[in-house]
């Protein structure tokens, strides 16, 4: 029995991600037997009007059209509470939740999902406590959880003044990706991979997330955030931790979180001299963007991890808007053997994980070309994860919302890890290089090539 309260229910994030994820769970039969979704917003929207809006969102953003599946039953469980929600005024939310609890059960689990701008997190959190909606509830916070090291600390204090840490679910949807979870699953389940997963065999690690998309209708938000805050300190750091963590005591939530957060504390603060910021040409002309904006739409940085396993191995992180291709790839570049073959090409042995879609694992290596000569040729093998027998992957948001409903916090971030992440990025925030202009459809500023020297980025350059 669950009452799921979606703050910002008529906003872009809810339409694109949260509502389609909830609809997917309904179609997969993964929602609780009794549930109600209560949308919340400032406007005075009727239940029927909200249902119509939800259907429009699903028609546009869900892979499962709402004319199929259990739409009629799904729609009956949707309600809307207007009038906003603050400490001074709860709008109609308390009344609508009371009605929902009569249907779902008096002991229904309350889940609050804050699909709202981060600036609104403190007020809504405080209001949850003021109106008796915090006790026993689970509260999901979207990224970014804070927009600076000091902002993170302040927000964390405000949240813990109302909620116990066990109630808090800080979402980072990259951790919900099937292929991200493969990083630890395949490594710890296969001795062949575990044996090479260290500085003795890995020359460098590349975590590369170029995007062809621009900032679309997020220009105002994006100009206040930028690529460093939107992607580097969140997704890319979390994926780096998945690669670099030590084997956890178990795959239980506490042990998996502890392993991930422990290694983040060993991230060395980023040297601004080992980072390149960029801004795609034409960005300043977008509606909502400051015409003198220095917001970065591209960031590439070299990360060092001071553990015995990874000391001396560069982690090359890169992401950017309006780039030549869209990829989400983690690559472990293996060292080139010194003997017995002379002059082997660099970066020829690569184990990589595509995080896009359902995910894929790729291995690039050198093989003897059939014939009488000892000629070597590049070869590769691929394992599309969706083709595994009886594979039934969930989209990241659906997976994470399901985990919230189950009370599983394994794929959510903790404050100690986030605090360490903010310390890692602080030098770059304090002294950011001036963003270099780059052409849309390119691979970003040419200066970033030096970060991968003496070799190169595997994608595009």
Q: Is the pLDDT of residue 247 over 70?
A: yes
Q: How far apart are CA 75 and CA 402, in angstroms?
A: 19
| H or E element, residue 38 | strand 35-40
In this prediction, residue 12 carries a pLDDT of 87
142 annotated ligand binder = no
Other beta carbons less than 10 A from residue 404's beta carbon: 21
* Residue range 76-102: mean pLDDT, rounded: 91
In this prediction, residue 282 carries a pLDDT of 94
When mean pLDDT is compared over 56-65, 255-264, 269-278, 375-384, the highest value belongs to 269-278
* Residue range 321-337: mean pLDDT, rounded: 94
Q: What is the pTM of this model?
A: 0.90
Give the confidence band of 123 by pLDDT, cuts at 50, 70, 90. Answer: very high
Distances (CA, A) of 181 to 178, 252, 274, 342, 396: 5, 13, 29, 37, 11
Q: Tokens at residue 303, please? A: 């990360």
Q: Is the pLDDT of residue 69 over 70?
A: no
230 annotated ligand binder = yes
For the chain, which residues make up each domain, given as ranges? 2-142, 174-395+415-452
Q: Tokens at residue 51, please? A: 């249902």
Query: What DSSP line would sit under 300-369, residue for residue?
Result: EEEE-B-STTTTT--EEEEEESSBS----EEEEEEPPP-SSSSSPPTT-SEEEEE-STT-EEEEEEEEEP
Give the confidence band of 371 by pLDDT, cuts at 50, 70, 90. Answer: confident
Q: Is the pLDDT of residue 74 over 90?
A: yes
In this prediction, residue 310 carries a pLDDT of 97
Q: How far apart are CA 436 and CA 445, in angstroms?
A: 6
301 Cβ neighbours under 8 A, 6+ residues apart: 232, 270, 274, 275, 276, 316, 317, 318, 428, 451
* Residue range 137-157: mean pLDDT, rounded: 91
User: pLDDT of 24-42, one tens digit each?
Assistant: 999 999 999 899 999 998 8
Greater model confidence, 237 or 336 = 237
160 annotated ligand binder = no
Percent of the chain with pLDDT over 70: 98
* Residue range 379-403: mean pLDDT, rounded: 84
Give the confidence band of 358 by pLDDT, cuts at 50, 70, 90. Answer: confident
Name the active-site residue from 131, 235, 402, 455.
235
Least confident of 154-168, 318-332, 391-405: 391-405
Give the confidence band of 112 by pLDDT, cuts at 50, 70, 90. Answer: very high
Greater model confidence, 339 or 323 = 323
Of the candidates 118, 44, 131, the residue with the CA atom closest to the CA atom of residue 87? 131
Class for domain 2-142, per CATH?
Answer: alpha beta
Active site residue 235: yes
143 annotated ligand binder = yes
User: pLDDT of 173-192, one tens digit each?
Assistant: 888 888 888 888 888 999 99
Least confident of 361-370, 418-427, 429-438: 361-370
Q: Is the pLDDT of residue 105 over 80?
A: no
Architecture of the domain defined by 174-395+415-452: 2-Layer Sandwich (3.30)
Give the confidence band of 106 by pLDDT, cuts at 50, 70, 90. Answer: confident
211 annotated ligand binder = yes
* Residue range 143-171: mean pLDDT, rounded: 92
In this prediction, residue 323 carries a pLDDT of 96
Q: Is the pLDDT of residue 97 over 70?
A: yes
Helices (H) and strands (E) in the chain, counts: 15, 15
Q: How far apart are CA 110 and CA 36, in angstroms?
A: 10
Least confident of 52-56, 86-90, 124-128, 237-241: 86-90
Average per-residue pLDDT in the chain? 91
In this prediction, residue 186 carries a pLDDT of 87
287 annotated ligand binder = no
In this prediction, residue 285 carries a pLDDT of 92
439 annotated ligand binder = no
């Amino acid at each position: 029995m669950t009452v799921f309260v979606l703050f910002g229910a008529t906003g872009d994030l809810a339409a694109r991600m949260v509502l389609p994820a909830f609809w997917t769970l309904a179609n997969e039969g993964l929602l609780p037997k009794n549930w109600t979704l209560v949308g919340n917003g400032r406007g005075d929207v009727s239940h029927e009007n909200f249902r119509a809006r939800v259907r429009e969102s699903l028609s546009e953003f869900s892979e499962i059209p709402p004319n199929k599946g259990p739409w009629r039953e799904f729609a009956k469980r949707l309600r809307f509470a207007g009038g906003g929600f603050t400490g001074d005024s709860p709008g109609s939310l308390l009344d609508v939740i009371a009605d929902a609890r009569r249907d779902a059960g008096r002991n229904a689990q309350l889940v609050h999902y804050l699909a709202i701008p981060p600036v609104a997190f403190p007020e809504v959190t405080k209001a949850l406590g003021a109106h008796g909606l915090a006790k026993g509830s689970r509260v999901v916070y979207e990224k970014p959880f804070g927009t600076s090291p000091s902002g993170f600390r302040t927000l964390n204090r405000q949240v813990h003044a109302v909620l116990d840490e066990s109630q808090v679910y800080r979402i980072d949807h990259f951790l919900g990706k099937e292929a991200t979870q493969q990083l630890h699953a395949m490594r710890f389940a296969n001795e062949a991979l575990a044996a090479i997963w260290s500085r003795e065999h890995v020359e460098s690690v590349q975590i590369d997330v170029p995007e062809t998309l621009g900032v679309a209708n997020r220009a105002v938000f994006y100009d206040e955030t930028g690529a460093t805050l939107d992607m580097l300190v969140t997704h890319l750091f979390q994926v780096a931790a998945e690669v670099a963590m030590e084997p956890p005591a178990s795959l239980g939530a506490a042990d998996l979180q502890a392993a991930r957060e422990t290694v983040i504390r060993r991230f060395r603060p980023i040297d601004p001299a080992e980072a390149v910021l960029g801004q795609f040409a034409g960005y300043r002309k977008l509606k909502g963007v400051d015409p003198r904006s220095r917001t970065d739409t591209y960031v590439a940085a070299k990360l060092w991890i001071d553990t015995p396993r990874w000391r001396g191995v560069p982690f090359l992180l890169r992401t950017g808007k309006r780039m030549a291709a869209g990829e989400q790839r983690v690559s472990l570049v293996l060292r080139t053997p010194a003997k017995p073959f002379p002059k082997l090409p660099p970066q020829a042995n690569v184990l990589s994980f595509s995080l896009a879609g359902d995910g894929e694992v790729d291995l690039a290596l050198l093989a003897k070309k059939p014939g009488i000569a000892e000629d070597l040729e590049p070869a590769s093998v691929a394992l599309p994860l969706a083709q595994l027998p009886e594979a039934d992957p969930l989209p990241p948001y659906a997976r994470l919302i399901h985990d919230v409903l189950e009370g599983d916090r394994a794929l959510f971030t903790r404050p100690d890890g986030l605090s360490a992440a903010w310390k890692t990025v602080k030098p770059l925030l304090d002294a950011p290089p001036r963003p270099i202009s780059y052409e849309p459809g390119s691979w970003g500023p040419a200066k970033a090539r030096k970060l991968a020297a003496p070799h190169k980025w595997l994608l595009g350059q």
